[in-house]
Structure formats: C-alpha cells, structure tokens
Amino acid sequence: PPTHLQIQVLDDSTDETTLLARRRARVWRRTGIDITVHHRRRRTGYKAGALAEGLESATGEYILILDADFVPRPGLLEALLPSMADPGVGMVQARWDHLNEQDSWLTRAQALLLDGHFFLEQRGRYRGGRFFNFNGTAGLWRRRALADAGGWQSDTLTEDLDISYRAQMAGWRFVLRDDVGVPAELPSTAASLLVQQRRWAQGGVQTARKLLARVLRGPWRPAVKFEAFVHLCGHLAHPLTFALALLVVPAALARRTLGIDRLWWLDLALFLAATAPFIVFYWTAARRRGRGRGTAARGVAGTLALAAGLSVLLSGVVLRGLGRARDPFHRTPKTGSAARSSYETHGGDFPGRRLVVCAGALMVAAGVVAIAAGHWGSLPFVALFAGGYLAVGLRAGIRRTPALRIPASALPRQSAKAPPQEHQPHGQPDRGAVPERLRPDSSGLVGSETPVAEEDEAA
C-alpha cells in the first residue's frame, strides 16, 4: 500500500531538474505519498555518496534502488519481496529490459550484451553459488546487508560491484530474479555509451585491486575464487584485444620472414577459438530473448563489432584504473525523450573518435597488405577489427530515434512467487542497527551545504 512506502529522489542536479522534482513531489505528497527530494549541492562521493546520504534518512527495512531512467511496471515490489522471506538474503536483483532497443545497431548491440549478462552470465553465477553483483539499479536491498558490508563507499567508480562483493563476503546471499524485467533507456550514441563504459571499465579494475586479494585468501571454494577472478578482471580483455589487433599483421610478416608462412591456418584456428565462444554465448542469449535467427545473427555481428571497436577506446582507461588513477564519476547521458516521434540524425563526435577511425583505416590498409602478401589466415582478424573500429567511429553516432515506448516484450508477466533459492557458501552475520531518520524541511527537501560543480546524477 502507498502508506507503507517512503520514496526518496536523490538529486545532484545543477539545472532545473531539482525544481521540477520538487514540484512533482508536492503533488504526490498531497495524495498521501511519503516522498522527499534530497538535493546535494556538492557531489561528495558521487553516486555512492548520494546513496549513503539517502540511507541515513530511510526508515524501511528494504531499500529498492532505481536509476532515474528506469520505468518499473506496477507490482515490482510484490514480485521481488517474496525472495526476501529467507532472512539470509541480502539483495534481490531484477533483469534490465530496454526502452529504445530498436533505435540503431548500437542500441541493439547493447541490448544483446545486457541480455547475455543477465540470462547467461548472472544466472550462471547465481545458480552455481558464485559471487554475483548488484547492477546499480533495479535491485532490492535488505538494510542490514548494506550495514554489514560497511555501507556505500566511493573509492571505486563501481560502487555497486564493490558493495556486492563486500556484502557476500560478510555472509549475505543474493538472489537473481531474471523473470522480472525493469525497462530502462540504453545510451543512444557512442559518446554516451563511452561515458558509461569508461566508468564501468575503470571501476571494475579498481574493485579488483581493492577486493580480489581478500577473496583469494578467503574460505571459499576454488571454483568460487576462480569465477571471482574472471569476473573482477574481465575488463582486462580490452587492452588484450587491442594488443591482438596490433600484433596480427606483424605476426604474419614475421612468419613469412622465418619461412613458416605456410602455417597460415593457425591464424584461422586462433580466430575461431577466440570468436566461437562469443558467438555461441550471444546467439544463445538472443534466442532466449525470443529473437528470430536473422535478428540474432545481426545482433551477434553488432556485438562483435562493438566489442572490437571499444577495445581501442577503453584500453587506456583500464590501465589507468590499474595504476590507481581516480577519474570523476560522470553520469551516462540519456535522451529521456518520450515525445520524439520523428527520425533524426545526430552528430557522432566523441572523445577518441579520430583515434578509432584512424585505427580502422590502418586495419583496412593492413588487410590490403595481407591480401597482397597472401596472408589469408590473418584476414578474419583484420576484417573484424577494421569493421569494429569503423562501425564505432563512423556509424555509432547516427541513430534512428522513434518515440520511447515501453514495448510489450519488455514487460513480461511477473510472478510474485520467488524461485527456489540457490545458497552460496556463506554464513549468517550479526545484524547492524538501523539509524534514525532525519527530518526534511516543510518543502520535502533535505539539503546539504556547498555548491556542486559537476554533472547531475539522480537515482
């Protein structure tokens, strides 16, 4: 019932967003809804800081976190709460669905990447009793789990991944509800996607640097530790992929110089070994989502191109994260434009665009050299990287933009019945105390002091 809900709008905006949020909050308060706007003038701790500040005045035992671009359907809480019946469960994660999947090849590729993450990657970790993470939004937390984990911390750019591991290491179990979908907007241009991916890539390796040694020294099974290593170090694939792109043609030329160029089939075998698991993984995700074979094939091609194209742009970010760099938290720009109904072409400029286009041109030149020299085995790799770099550099900023609507496929029937709970090998920790609520002023605005300098982040 509405009387049982406390709603907080956590807002770090520097524009008119705060005024609009306060106006809407007043409207809802007149209907009896307990809703307050928490505006911070300084983005201390970025999103983690906003969540920590909101938690101080939250009164409930259960905390549902939704980013501002997520559009939950009615009944979301009723669908997730039964999974909390087990007192050892600290977090329940719902699946992300997509409002604007059909905007462009870029949004379709992202949708498939996320579907693979939820339908296969997260599901496999959950059912196998491995660590898996809260995805930053569309998740329901037990307040005591947040307290036992040490609360929200801002020393990484992925506060969600960080607190997920700390909570599970403290003995809490997580539940994945991939039968419950919450639609959200995908980044619609390469520029906005790059903001998101840079944050995720650097934050992922920061979390690995912070927690991986503790996981490996901990009491968990070797299989759990191995999967945690793969999970936390996954973004190292970006510099390794870029290194592979740089070495393909030199390796072929070196073999010719050494007189072993007849072993060109080794390149082909390596290409198949590198790409076949990727293709099978995302083909399976597409089919589980109900996509036809043709749509699935195009989606897999798009994800391959996107993964290759991003490698050149994210390699430096990953290395900066390993080197203890701490970049600021930049929110992912979203259009949020439900009123748009026409088709538009948007400029595709973004930091590093010239670099990725030049890399694509160099790979095309490398392909010409390989053909002239008869190095047929290196052509699949060269074609993959050339296509990926040029697709991201030249095509990722052009999108077809219909109105944002919640598609029927994004709103599956949600059962309130929780699935059988898969138990991870963790014990039950002691429970923490719940802090008192802070009182908002008469406008429903809880504010801190000093002004903000950066972009807004509403959660």
pLDDT of residue 324: 74
- Please check whether residues 28 and 49 belong to one and the same domain: no
| 269/386 same-domain check | yes
Q: Are residues 233 and 200 in the same domain?
A: yes
- Reported residue count of the chain is 459
Q: Is residue 91 part of a domain?
A: yes
Burial class (CB in 10 A: 0-12, 13-18, 19+), 284: middle
Can you name the residues that pair with 38 across neighbouring β-strands? 10, 446
Contacts of 148 (CB under 8 A, 6+ apart): 90, 167, 170, 171, 172, 429, 430, 431, 432
Question: Which residues partner with 89 through β-bridges?
Answer: 173
Residue 407 placed within a domain: no
Which residue out of 12, 97, 115, 162 is catalytically annotated?
A: 12
- What is the per-residue pLDDT across 410-454, written as a single tens digit (0 to 9) for each? 444 444 444 444 444 343 333 333 333 333 443 444 444 333 333
Cα 367 to the center of its chain, rounded Å: 34
Selected catalytic residue, list 97, 160, 162, 178? 160
Q: What is the CA radius of gyration of the chain?
A: 23
Of 380, 401, 422, which marks where a domain is finished? 401
What is the total count of domains within the chain? 2
Is 458 in contact with 9 (CB distance < 8 Å)? Answer: yes
pLDDT of res. 125: 98
Residue 197, both tokens: 């991916």
pLDDT at 126: 98
Choose among 358, 320, 110: nearest CA to 235: 320
Handedness of CA 446, 451, 456, 457 (dihedral sign): negative
Active site residue 148: no
Tally of CB atoms within 10 A around 140: 24
Our answer to whether residue 15 is catalytic in this structure is no
Query: What is the predicted pLDDT for the residue at 238?
Result: 95
Same domain, 231 and 182: yes
- List CB contacts of 156: < 8 A, sequence separation 6 or more: 162, 203, 206, 207, 210
Does residue 440 lie in a domain region? no
Q: Does 455 map to a domain?
A: no
Instruction: Confirm whether 341 is domain-assigned.
Output: no
User: Which residue is it, tokens 């706007």?
Assistant: 37
Does 447 fall in a domain? no
Q: 52, 28, 74: which is closest to 141 by C-alpha?
A: 52
Tokens 């110089």 locate to: 257
> Do 37 and 48 fall into the same domain?
no
Q: What is the pLDDT of residue 228?
A: 98
Question: Do 34 and 54 share a domain, yes or no?
Answer: no
Q: Chain-centre distance of CA 384, in angstroms?
A: 24
At 92-133, the pLDDT tens digits run 999 999 999 999 999 999 999 999 999 999 999 999 999 999
Query: Under a CB-based contact definition with an 8 Å cutoff, are residues 440 and 146 in contact?
Result: no
**CB of 149 within 8 A of CB of 174?**
no
Domain hosting residue 10, numbered range = 1-42
The answer to whether residues 124 and 166 belong to one domain is: yes
Residue 48 and residue 34 in one domain: no
- The residue out of 356, 372, 401 marking a domain boundary is 401
What is Dmax (Cα atoms) for the chain? 82
16 and 112 together in one domain: no
Whose tokens are 């003038």? That residue is 41
50 and 35 co-located in one domain = no
| Claim to verify: residue 20 and residue 89 sit in the same structural domain | no
Q: Could you tell me where the DSSP H helices lie in 98-178?
A: 105-116, 123-127, 143-148, 159-169
Cβ neighbours of residue 314 closer than 8 Å, sequence gap 6 or more: 197, 198, 201, 235, 238
Divide the 459 residues of the chain into consecutive groups of 10 and give the mean pLDDT of each group: 89 89 95 94 90 95 96 95 98 98 94 97 97 98 98 96 98 97 94 92 96 98 98 96 88 75 76 93 95 93 94 92 74 56 46 89 90 83 93 68 48 45 40 36 41 38
Using CA atoms, how far residue 400 sits from 41, 295, 333, 349, in Å, is 36, 17, 17, 16
Domain assignment present for residue 80? The answer is yes
Question: What SS3 class is residue 47?
Answer: helix
